[in-house]
Amino acid sequence: MGDELTELAEALPSGCLVTDPDIIDGYRRDEALLVAPGHARCVVSASGVDDVVATMRWASRYRVPVVPRGSGTGLAGGATAVDGCVILSLARMTEITELDPLNELAVAQAGVLNADLDRAAAAHGLMYPPDPSSYEISTIGGNLATNAGGLRCVKYGVTRESVLGLEAVLADGRVLRTGRRTAKGVAGYDLTGLLVGSEGTLGVITSAILRLRPRPLVPPATVAASFPSFAAAARAVTAILAARLQPSLLELMDQVTLRAIDDWKHLGFGDSAGALLIAQADTDDAADRAAAMRDKCAEHGALLADVSASEDESRQLLEIRRMAHGAMERLGANLVEDVCVPRNRLPEMVERIGQAADRHGVLISTVAHAGDGNLHPAFVFDRPAAGEPTVPDNVWAAADEVFRAALDLGGTLTGEHGVGVIKRRWLALELGEESMAVHRSIKDALDPLGILNPGKAI
């Protein structure tokens, strides 16, 4: 161990600094497996904010890049190691330091798992609304860094809507506390909103004050409807939203996805269904609203539409949706994207994805948080035989067409996964040069040495 690392080890509790290459290798990647990771010099496994402060002070002194990470479930390469970096893991910071039922808030460290926070809230009749598909294994810190979404976004919004304040460590080791515990407050710039979604490039989020909501008093009612095509299902989504039925969930899967799940789990979808829509209501009159959503599906060409008979059946339907990513990974390498368009442009975006698939000869599976207009096209191709992961040219060409189509329709490159490494090359197309210049100015002001997650997001 060199003198510099010896100094870092002395500033940290015993066992926090990891230099074993085999252990380090397990931290170099997130779930964007097609992004080639760099070679880190060490891992710091922080157990509290003081460890993060010590790491950032040391990194600033020696100008060493720092890549923060939670449990590594990101899909855009935001937690991928860069050469010579310190990987700063916050996965051990798992304490819910406060849960205040009266004010409907919780204070949670960055390593708390999303599902664990929701379970803790449930004991008080509350819920933590954001629920990405990785909710059982993704951390609050990672969710904050990417402004993660999830299945309930159509009603409850993305992570930012549930954040009241943050504790974050800046590049030079200063501790910044933003926001407040009150339901309202407009003093000063919105630094909380600035840090949420910044992908570890402006500060390392160590803790958050999070807004909880009352848990529904009755079990949710769930609708499952099959359609001859994805476009037909998308039109049913538009009708449900136009009818103001307040769904808490609207999830859509195309035929490619359904066949992949069927091949894996043998659920009997067959070849007749071109798409499956799963909708849910969680209001006191959930059964009535679910019946109305079922009727809208029938009016717009559903082959079959029905309301779940029990809470267990509802849960099973959602598990089908959560199987999508695993099912597609069985078919080959996946480049998973998450474009988002205005909800009324969803049918057009679906058509444009199909055109890109045909034009470039690429298998594309699409699932969607349809109530948000947020689509997840997964570009599937043969796994590389050896060496660093690569993406074939025709896949990049198809992805380029899909990204540009989303922007043409008034949408965005990413609804919840973040820019990370994968989408940096397209970011200026969406933001424009003036906005990019402002982004760079903010980055330079908070991280003048450029050591926080370099090469990511902007």
**pLDDT per residue over 298-354, tens digit each?**
999 999 999 998 889 988 988 999 899 899 999 999 999 999 999 989 989 999 999
Domain termination residue (choose one: 322, 344, 372): 322
- What is the per-residue pLDDT for 387? 59
Euclidean distance between the first and the last CA atom of the chain, given in angstroms as a whole number: 33
- What is the per-residue pLDDT for 394? 95
Same domain for 72 and 107, yes or no, is: no
Q: Closest Cα partner for 45 from 7, 19, 64, 22?
A: 19
Same domain for 210 and 292, yes or no, is: no
Domain termination residue (choose one: 214, 246, 279): 214
Same domain for 209 and 126, yes or no, is: yes
Angle formed by the axes of helices 346-360 and 230-242, to 10°? 160
Return the CATH number at 11: 3.30.43.10
In-domain check, residue 456? no
Same domain for 115 and 184, yes or no, is: yes
In-domain check, residue 44? yes
- Please report which residue ranges of 308-389 form alpha helices under DSSP H: 311-322, 324-329, 346-360
What is d(CA 363, CA 136) in angstroms, rounded to the nearest whole number?
Answer: 29
Same domain for 11 and 75, yes or no, is: yes
In-domain check, residue 248? yes
Joined together, the tokens standing for residue 430 give 């969406």
Classify residue 425 by its DSSP letter.
Answer: G
Domain termination residue (choose one: 322, 339, 354): 322
- What is the per-residue pLDDT for 3? 82
What is d(CA 458, CA 454) in angstroms, rounded to the nearest whole number?
Answer: 9
Total count of domains within the chain: 4
Phi, psi torsion values for 99, nearest 5 degrees: -135, 110
Return the CATH number at 245: 3.30.70.3450
Q: Closest Cα partner for 204 from 114, 88, 58?
A: 88
In-domain check, residue 427? yes
Same domain for 60 and 163, yes or no, is: no
In-domain check, residue 290? yes
- What is the per-residue pLDDT for 386? 65
CA dihedral sign, ordered 96, 101, 103, 104:
positive
* Paired strand residues for 89: 45, 69
| pLDDT tens digits, one per residue of 145-198 | 999 998 899 999 999 999 999 999 999 999 999 999 998 889 999 999 999 999
In-domain check, residue 450? no
Joined together, the tokens standing for residue 416 give 């919840």
Return the CATH number at 338: 3.30.70.2740
Strands (E), 2-123: 17-18, 42-45, 66-69, 86-89, 96-100, 105-109
Question: 138 is in which domain, residue-wise?
Answer: 96-214
Same domain for 333 and 427, yes or no, is: yes
- The bridge status of strand 175-179 relative to strand 213-214 is unpaired
Phi, psi torsion values for 45, nearest 5 degrees: -100, 90
Q: Which residue type occupies 11?
A: A
**Contact status, residue 249 vs residue 152, Cβ threshold 8 Å:** yes
What is d(CA 264, CA 252) in angstroms, rounded to the nearest whole number?
Answer: 19
Angle at 57 between CA 193 and CA 55, to 5 degrees: 85
Phi, psi torsion values for 170, nearest 5 degrees: -80, 175
What is d(CA 325, CA 378) in angstroms, rounded to the nearest whole number?
Answer: 9
CA dihedral sign, ordered 325, 330, 331, 333:
positive
In-domain check, residue 397? yes
Return the CATH number at 145: 3.30.465.10
What is d(CA 316, CA 212) in angstroms, rounded to the nearest whole number?
Answer: 25
What is d(CA 374, CA 153) in angstroms, rounded to the nearest whole number?
Answer: 10
Angle formed by the axes of helices 49-62 and 3-11, to 10°? 160
In-domain check, residue 201? yes
- The bridge status of strand 86-89 relative to strand 66-69 is parallel
Same domain for 115 and 150, yes or no, is: yes
Same domain for 296 and 228, yes or no, is: yes
Neighbouring CB atoms inside 10 A of 284's CB total: 11
Same domain for 157 and 178, yes or no, is: yes
- Give the DSSP letter string of 175-238: EEEEE-SSS----S--HHHHHTTSTTSS-EEEEEEEE-EEPPSS--EEEEEEESSHHHHHHHHH
**Regions of the chain short of the pLDDT cut 70:** 1, 270, 386-389
Same domain for 290 and 261, yes or no, is: yes
Find all residues with CB under 8 Å of 347, minimum gap 6, and list them: 231, 234, 235, 238
Q: Where does residue 431 rank: exposed (0-12), middle (13-18), buried (19+ CB within 10 A)? A: middle
What is d(CA 212, CA 190) in angstroms, rounded to the nearest whole number?
Answer: 20
Same domain for 168 and 105, yes or no, is: yes
**Contact status, residue 85 vs residue 64, Cβ threshold 8 Å:** yes
Neighbouring CB atoms inside 10 A of 436's CB total: 14
- What is the per-residue pLDDT for 383? 87
